[in-house]
């Protein structure tokens, strides 16, 4: 088992997740991922400064506004939004980050490595959870 597979398994065993880019629009991946994690029994917090809630669940403006420290953060935003949040994740002492396809670039991966984060990229959490 390579490192990414090992980290992926560790992450899927963690129960408290934040979804950055959680979105009330049903067509968006931020919505689908948020809902799928909840369906699978995870405690999930949505982060999106633009929206207030998803189906009655409060969304938070940033990682630091969350009421609990998540075990994992799932990124569903563009790299230009992802990169500044990596700092916030590292400063919050969160170890695990899952970069959805389209949420990262070379700079993102360099930053995540620099901050000693454990991360998965190129994989979709929906596929990993068995969509």
Report pLDDT digits (tens) over 47-93. Answer: 999 999 999 999 999 999 999 999 999 999 999 999 999 999 999 99
1 pLDDT higher than 90: no
CATH hierarchy code of domain 3-47+59-128: 3.40.50.720
2 pLDDT higher than 90: no
Length of the chain: 131
Cβ partners under 8 Å of residue 119, min gap 6: 7, 96, 97, 98, 99, 109, 112
For residue 130, the model assigns a pLDDT of: 85
In three-state secondary structure terms, 110 is: helix
Share of the chain above pLDDT 70, in %: 98
**Token pair of 93 as six digits:** 């002492």
Residues 17-36 have a mean pLDDT of 97
Domain extents in the chain = 3-47+59-128
Residues 98-116 have a mean pLDDT of 95
| pLDDT tier, 8 (very low <50, low <70, confident <90, very high otherwise) | very high
Average pLDDT, the chain: 94
Please compute, for residue 20, the number of CA atoms within 13 A of its CA located in the half-sphere on the CB side.
26
106-114 vs 79-91: helix crossing angle, rounded to 10: 0
């Amino acid at each position: 088992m390579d490192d990414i597979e090992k980290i992926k398994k560790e992450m899927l065993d963690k129960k408290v997740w934040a979804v950055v880019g959680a979105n009330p629009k049903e067509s968006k991946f931020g919505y689908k991922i948020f809902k799928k994690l909840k369906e699978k029994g995870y405690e999930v917090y949505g982060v999106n400064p633009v929206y207030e809630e998803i189906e009655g669940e409060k969304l938070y403006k940033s990682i630091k506004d969350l009421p609990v420290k998540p075990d994992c953060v799932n990124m569903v935003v563009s790299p230009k939004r992802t990169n500044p949040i990596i700092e916030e994740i590292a400063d919050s002492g969160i170890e695990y980050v899952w970069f959805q396809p389209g949420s990262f670039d070379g700079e993102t991966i360099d930053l995540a490595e620099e901050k000693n984060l454990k991360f998965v990229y190129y994989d979709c959490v929906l596929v990993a959870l068995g969509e």
